[in-house]
Structure 1
Amino acid sequence: MTTRDARAPGLAALAGLVADETRAVCLLALLDGRAWTAGELARHAGVAASTLSEHLGKLVAGGLLAEERQGRHRYVRLADTRVAQLVEDLAAQVAPDPAHRPRTLRASNAGSAMARARTCYDHLAGRLGIVLTDALTTRGLLSAAGLPEGSGPPRRRTSRERATGFVLTEAGLGWFEGSGIALDRGTRRPLARACLDWTERRPHLAGAAGAALCRHVLDAGWCVRIGSERAVKVTAKGERALTELLGIELETLR
């Protein structure tokens, strides 16, 4: 007699939650790392508020979203970084639907801006994310798990680190500290993780280090958010700082 895996019901329930297109639209929108009101998500998804409320209830009950109420407004956000990682990883496996390609110049420009530089929940993605990841790797500050670390003495990796795809080297840890970029090392979240970029089709840096770098470039004014999507733009100040810190060529940032 075959014993059924006890995880099967939970996996089936999770798959059912993301199988609906309206709920998928909401999850992808919330990858910007911010909290949205139910009304904003309803307009974004193109559905009635009552319909959207039903979907949000299921996502909250399923543990994918967290909600907060302020007065008459209901705000929702992704429950945690694990949910963001799940949505990112699933979305990266799916090619954009040709039927939804930009039909206007405005939509095309917005898509190009997202491809150049954007936030992916709490880290940087698009061409900018890849450029930064490559620069960190070239300088021996970041390495692919299981490969030589590039510079400095080797650091013993845990099995958890090896599973994340990227590892910060000792030189990398020193670089973050020396650059004034605070790393949150008090959680179980991996310091570095590879996240497959859906536009570049290559992994960019995520994890605590990716989040710290993203937070720093925004707080320092090296990047600014543009438009209503997740797109960001490198400022002149950011170009100078990233060139100085990582030797990045200016044309790769534009």
Structure 2
Amino acid sequence: MKEGPDIARVAALIGDPARANMLTALMAGRALTATELAQEAGVTAQTASSHLAKLQEGGIVEGRKQGRHRYFTLGNADIVELLETLMGIAQRTGHNRVRTGPKDPALRKARICYDHLAGEMGVALFENLQQRQLVSFEPGGDIKLTDAGAGFVTAFGLDLDHMRQLRRPLCRECLDWSMRRSHLAGALGAGLLQRMLDLGWARRLRDSRVVDFTPTGERAFYDLFSSLPNS
């Protein structure tokens, strides 16, 4: 008898094309209804509900009822990281979507990865934090915010005490599918992106994962992370 985790079940849940499209849509970090996810998957509402029931039973998504609608989100940070990693494998092995569009370069430059910044700018941010020793890797592979990093985060206007109380890691590494290097996830990654949005440096494009930086916002980004190469 085989023992241990059943990866085949998880792979089957994620691997169905319609369910994969739904999960990709949820990577934008917004809670979506079954109707909206049916449109993303190109299936009927009844078929979407069946898919979502399986994903929810498997712990891949979570559902909550609000008013007349039921909204779905990804199950947890592990699912987000897994999907981003699978996107990287698909990109590297040539399994790309047939149709590309003008948003593709923008997705590679800066996009949302559930609730944190990904793409070229997300990777550059994380690497800069490491270069300046604002974050460091622990022997076990965990990422720690240094004392200097805590001062930087507070000066940037983030409530570090609040982030440390959240039921999630403060710092987490997430492999970026387009860059094949890591960007910063966790409460700190989410907090940094939200602060940039609040400052008006960037905005979320409607019905897209693109994070669109204004020219002023992009200059401010590179001024703050001054050791980054400004392209």
Question: Shorter chain as normaliser: what TM range?
Answer: 0.7 to 0.9
Q: Tell which structure's C-alpha radius of gyration is larger.
A: 1
Alignment match of 2:35 (pick from 27, 32, 39): 39
Gaps of 5+ in 1: 147-161
Q: Which residue is equivalent to 1:154?
A: none
Deviations 1:201-241 (A, max 9, x none): 11111122111111111122111112421001112442343
- Corresponding residue to 1:14 among 7, 10, 18: 10
Task: Please list every run of 5 or more consecutive structure 2 residues that lacks an aligned counterpart in the other structure.
Answer: none
Equivalent residue for 2:147? 170
Aligned residues: 228
1:142 is matched with which residue? Answer: 135
**2:97 is matched with which residue?**
100
User: Which segment drifts farther, 234-243 or 191-200?
Assistant: 234-243
- Superposed CA RMSD in Å reads 2.3
CA contact (8 A) 2:222 2:230 kept: no
Q: Which residue of 2 aligns with 1:205?
A: 184
> Is the CA contact 2:90–2:96 (under 8 Å) kept in the aligned structure 1?
no
Deviates more, 1:11-20 or 1:220-229: 11-20
SS in 2 for 1:247: coil
In structure 2, the CA distance between the partners of 1:43 and 1:129, relative to structure 1 (3 Å rule), is same
- Superposition pairs of residues 151-230 of structure 1, within 5 angstroms: 162-164=140-142, 166-183=143-160, 184-187=163-166, 189-230=168-209
Query: Relative to structure 1, is the Cα distance of residues 57 and 113 closer, same or farther in structure 2, using a 3 angstrom cutoff?
Result: same
- Offset at residue 23 of structure 1 (A): 1.0
From 84, 89, 114, give the equivalent of 2:80. 84
Distance 1:8 1:179 in 2: 42
TM-score (structure 2 length as normaliser): 0.87
Match of residue 62, structure 2, among 59, 62, 66:
66
For residue 108 of structure 1, give the secondary structure of its aligned residue in structure 2. Answer: coil
Shift of 1:63: 1.7
What TM-score do you get using the length of structure 1 for normalisation?
0.80
Q: Is the Cα contact below 8 Å between 1:17 and 1:59 reproduced in 2?
A: yes
